[in-house]
Chain A
Amino acid sequence: GENVEQHPSTLSVQEGDSAVIKCTYSDSASNYFPWYKQELGKGPQLIIDIRSNVGEKKDQRIAVTLNKTAKHFSLHITETQPEDSAVYFCAASAYNQGGKLIFGQGTELSVKP
């Protein structure tokens, strides 16, 4: 079955700097890759997703890149702000597995003012 590895587990950056979180997946049939942000006391919230027919997607300060050959995808946050501090989860899903989401272990991002 699918296995998703996420790194780093913790990340501390200065406000205004960029943050990058990386995930690798094992199942070449995976074709949907969402990213979720979880703030303290809340459930995960989708922030951006990408499907395997594109290599990059951007939404304001957030971008996701996908390398199907290497089976990895990354989340990029530019001009970080203290409110970006949260736990971020990547996930992968294969259509032939019923679309079940397999999550990474999470990255705790801390943005210092």
Chain B
Amino acid sequence: ETGVTQTPRHLVMGMTNKKSLKCEQHLGHNAMYWYKQSAKKPLELMFVYSLEERVENNSVPSRFSPECPNSSHLFLHLHTLQPEDSALYLCASSQERDQETQYFGPGTRLLVL
């Protein structure tokens, strides 16, 4: 167990739905990340938060909206997604932002119909 939990583990949604992914870390870390993992492609960094402040938005479409209410919780709000957004969404945390070991959660498997 890595200390990073994600809910839900699986999610099926239509293109007009609104849903949210939740991540919680129990490690006392200051940085949290959202990654997208698609089949046959490298992990793609989406967002980085450091001390609850967004420090990186990696050209992610606005239909993905992150929220970090405190250093232990990270959300990814989903709205009007496309079928190509179907993927495994991984949350990770690290002690600090720079070149620290990142600990990943199990991911949320998302299917957009």
Cα distance, A100 to B48, chains bound together (Å): 9
Q: Which residues of A contact B56 (CB under 8 A)?
A: 98, 100
- Size category of the B interface is 20 to 34
A74-113 interface code vs B (CB 8 A; 1 in, 0 out): 0000000000000001000101001111111110000000
Q: Is the CB of B99 within 8 A of A95?
A: yes
Q: Is the CB of B42 within 8 A of A4?
A: yes
Main SS of the interface on chain B? Answer: loop
Contact of A98 among B90, B92, B98 (CB under 8 A): B98
Q: Is the CB of A43 within 8 A of B97?
A: no
Cα distance, A31 to B99, chains bound together (Å): 9
The reply to whether the CB of B101 lies closer than 8 angstroms to some CB of chain A is yes
Cα distance, A106 to B107, chains bound together (Å): 17
Cα distance, A32 to B4, chains bound together (Å): 23
Number of interface residues of A (CB under 8 A): 24
Q: Which residues of A contact B11 (CB under 8 A)?
A: none
Q: Which residues of A contact B112 (CB under 8 A)?
A: none
Q: Which residues of B contact A93 (CB under 8 A)?
A: 99
Cα distance, A102 to B99, chains bound together (Å): 11
- B101 → chain A, closest Cβ, in Å? 5
**B contact set with A: CB distance below 8 Å:** 2, 4, 40-43, 45, 48, 55-56, 90, 92, 97-107
13 of the cross-chain contacts (CB-CB < 8 Å) are A4-B42, A34-B101, A34-B102, A43-B105, A43-B106, A46-B102, A93-B99, A98-B55, A98-B56, A99-B97, A99-B98, A99-B100, A100-B48
**A contact set with B: CB distance below 8 Å:** 4, 31-32, 34, 36, 41-46, 49, 89, 93, 95, 98-106
